[in-house]
């Protein structure tokens, strides 16, 4: 379940604006979702291999070139499905937890 939530969050971040891996990690940490690079990079690779994202290299003023991730049209469609699934999950959990008082 966590992988699906991370995929949703990462696609949402990238949909907002093209993002460098450390930018993604920062935004996840700001939301109190602690993710390490060893978790993020394989997920970014899978999203790219699935055609949901692409990337471009940009020169950096302070070091090596940076890989910026960008959402594709299939990625936007997948994000929409993931958002719907997330809302359905929240509703299901609320039904159970709400009965508990």
pLDDT tens for residues 13-61? 999 999 999 999 999 999 999 889 999 999 999 999 999 999 999 998 8
Give me the number of domains the chain comprises: 1
Q: Does 6 have pLDDT greater than 70?
A: yes
**Pairing of β 19-20 and β 63-71:** antiparallel
Looking at residue 97, what is its pLDDT?
93
8 domain-assigned: yes
39 domain-assigned: yes
User: What is the extent of the structural domain holding 55?
Assistant: 2-84
Kindly report the CA angle at 11 between 70 and 59, in degrees rounded to 5? 30
Q: How far is CA 9 from the centre of its chain?
A: 4
**52 DSSP assignment:** S
d(CA 24, CA 40): 9
Helix, strand, or coil here: 29? helix
100 domain-assigned: no
């Amino acid at each position: 379940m966590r992988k699906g939530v991370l995929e949703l969050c990462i696609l949402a971040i990238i949909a907002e604006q093209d993002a460098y891996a450390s930018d993604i990690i920062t935004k996840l940490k700001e939301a109190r979702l602690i993710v390490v690079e060893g978790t993020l990079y394989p997920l970014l690779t899978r999203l790219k291999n699935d055609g949901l994202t692409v990337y471009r290299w940009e020169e950096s003023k302070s070091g090596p070139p940076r890989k910026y991730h960008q959402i594709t049209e299939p990625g936007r469609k997948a994000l929409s499905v993931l958002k719907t699934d997330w809302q359905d999950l929240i509703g299901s959990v609320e039904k159970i937890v709400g009965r508990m008082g």
